[in-house]
């Protein structure tokens, strides 16, 4: 279900080049037990809330399985952990195939009216 922030927040040293869609969605990460929560996604990467942050190291390559709200089947992404916070991990996609890009773009198309101005 979409949970879009009502206003853009400025982040120091913003590294993102792609707009991100903020919503909550369940995911599974290979090597981590349980169902985790995605809080945002873009064509560049994904943020996943993880309770046991010590189980994942920056630089690790992970496989993420997620059932996006616009897809009938789960999508599998390969990503590199590039950031850790006390809430979770920020991952950069290693490469996206056409199906994966299409799935993310469909989410943006479906939820575009909920994005803050300037992100569409």
Pairwise CA distance, residues 117 & 83, whole Å: 26
H/E run at residue 98? helix 98-111
Query: Is 70 exceeded by the pLDDT of residue 119?
Result: no
- Residue 107 sits at the vertex; the CA angle it makes with 77 and 105, to the nearest 5 degrees, is 70
Q: What is the pLDDT of residues 30-83, one digit of tens each?
A: 988 889 999 999 889 999 999 888 888 999 999 999 999 889 999 999 999 999
Pairwise CA distance, residues 2 & 111, whole Å: 7
- pLDDT for res 14: 53
Categorize the per-residue pLDDT at 91 as very low, low, confident or very high, splitting at 50, 70 and 90: very high
Which residues are 24's β-sheet partners? none
- pLDDT for res 3: 40
Token pair belonging to 86: 């006390």
- pLDDT for res 115: 57
Pairwise CA distance, residues 110 & 108, whole Å: 5
Q: What is the pLDDT of residues 13-23, one digit of tens each?
A: 555 577 778 87
């Amino acid at each position: 279900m979409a949970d879009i922030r009502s206003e853009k927040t400025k982040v120091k040293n913003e590294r993102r080049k792609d707009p991100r869609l903020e919503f909550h969605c369940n995911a599974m990460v290979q090597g981590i037990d349980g169902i985790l929560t995605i809080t945002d996604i873009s064509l560049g990467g994904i943020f996943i809330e993880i309770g046991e942050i010590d189980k994942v190291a920056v630089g690790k390559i992970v496989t993420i399985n997620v059932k996006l709200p616009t897809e009938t089947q789960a999508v599998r992404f390969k990503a590199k952990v590039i950031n850790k916070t006390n809430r979770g991990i920020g991952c950069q996609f290693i490469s996206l195939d056409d199906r994966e890009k299409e799935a993310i773009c469909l989410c943006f198309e479906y939820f575009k009216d909920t994005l803050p101005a300037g992100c569409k």
